Structure 1
Amino acid sequence: MRYFELFDDVNIPQRWHIGEITADDGWEPPFWSGSAFQGSPIATISRPGIPLDFSLTSFAVPVATRRVAQAIGSVAGDDLQRIPLRIHGHVGFEVLNALRVVKCLDESRSEFTKWTERDHRADLAGQYRGVTKLRIDPASVPSDAHFFRIEGWLVALIVSEPAKLAMEQIGCRGAKFQEVT
């Protein structure tokens, strides 16, 4: 199966940008950790403009219309937590929380750096510091994984080809895909 990193198309003219997402108490939930979230998150708009069907916040949290969330959910099943999102002046948007984390980064085909003990963050020694060319090993991905993050590099949000096609078939505006297999 083919897999794709899911991005936000930042080149759409006059598009909006969603800033920070917080819980009711002002805490910023770690939507990139693979953990479920309980609560009712609130988002701010950092740049007003045309709302998109899919976008990433300033901190790479995926936000989509209910229609896009349903399309992804029909493929991803329990790997996707759909969380209604409150955005002042806008209705029908959800946080797409990936609940699965898969160890699948193919170091032999990827380009990356790791933290070392000599860096200013010696506590992170051995962990990925940056990944400039991401490739995953499809053989390491369970066949039922369609919406997930990568163990060790949680910044990346990965979708399977069936999830990508589901988004494209409904005309999802705002999503970009880059193959990583």
Structure 2
Amino acid sequence: MTRYFQLRDDVTIRGRWHLSDVLLPTGAEPLFDAGEPVRDSGPLRGTVSHTGSVLDFTLTSFNVPIATSSLAHAVSNIASSDLQCLPVEIAGQAGMMVLNAVRVVRCIDETRSEFVKWTKHDHRADLAGQYRQVTKLVLATDAIPADAHFFRVEGWLVALIVSEAVKEAMERVGCLGAKFLELPT
């Protein structure tokens, strides 16, 4: 059975850089957490909120995955249909890529996960029925297509999931900054 991991940013690394966001040439922020390809982005620019050591992998403040080109290539070799790799210029650092997950999978096992959903009585009644918070994410692996290797979770798009094959490829190339949380299935 395939194992899956939530891909996170290892914020415990001392002296590391922190990235705030990725911007289009117009200054607008593309939606890299919507699970859709970004079209005609033009040259992307990342902003650094705290200078420090450059990492192989990091998430911006808005959950956009950024990786070195070698790491992006390793992920793309396995998950090419799940992924859009876009070059991004970050403080003169060459060879950095946005890893835009273009696949979204409905796979939360609601019987074993722990979550809160928005209600019509909350200050965001327009989100009623959607996940407000997921404190324990359990995947329904039978709902995950066999060819899904790099995806976001429908209803909880902040969760970025990778297969065991992607995790192992990232570790082989070097993925300083990546943290893998194995998810129960």
TM-score (norm 2): 0.96
Gaps of 5+ in 1: none
SS of corresponding position for 1:93: strand
Q: Once superposed, which parts of structure 1, at least 4 consecutive aligned residues long, lie more than 4 Å away?
A: none
Matched ranges for 1:58-137 at <5 A:
58-137=61-140
SS of corresponding position for 2:98: strand
Selected match of 2:149 from 135, 146, 151? 146
Matched ranges for 1:47-66 at <5 A:
47-66=50-69
Looking at structure 2, the residues matched to 118 and 165 of structure 1 have their Cα atoms a distance apart, in angstroms, of: 44
Looking at structure 1, the residues matched to 45 and 168 of structure 2 have their Cα atoms a distance apart, in angstroms, of: 29
Gaps of 5+ in 2: none
Q: Percent identity?
A: 56
- Measured against aligned partners, the alpha-carbon deviations of 1:55-96 in whole angstroms (never above 9, x if no partner) come to 000101000000100110011012110000011221110000
Residue 21 of structure 1 deviates from its aligned partner by 0.9
Q: What is the count of residue pairs matched by the alignment?
A: 181
Computed over aligned residues only, the root mean square deviation of the Cα atoms, in angstroms, reads 0.8
SS of corresponding position for 2:129: coil
Residue 174 of structure 1 deviates from its aligned partner by 0.6
Looking at structure 2, the residues matched to 69 and 34 of structure 1 have their Cα atoms a distance apart, in angstroms, of: 17
TM-score (norm 1): 0.98
Looking at structure 1, the residues matched to 135 and 44 of structure 2 have their Cα atoms a distance apart, in angstroms, of: 31
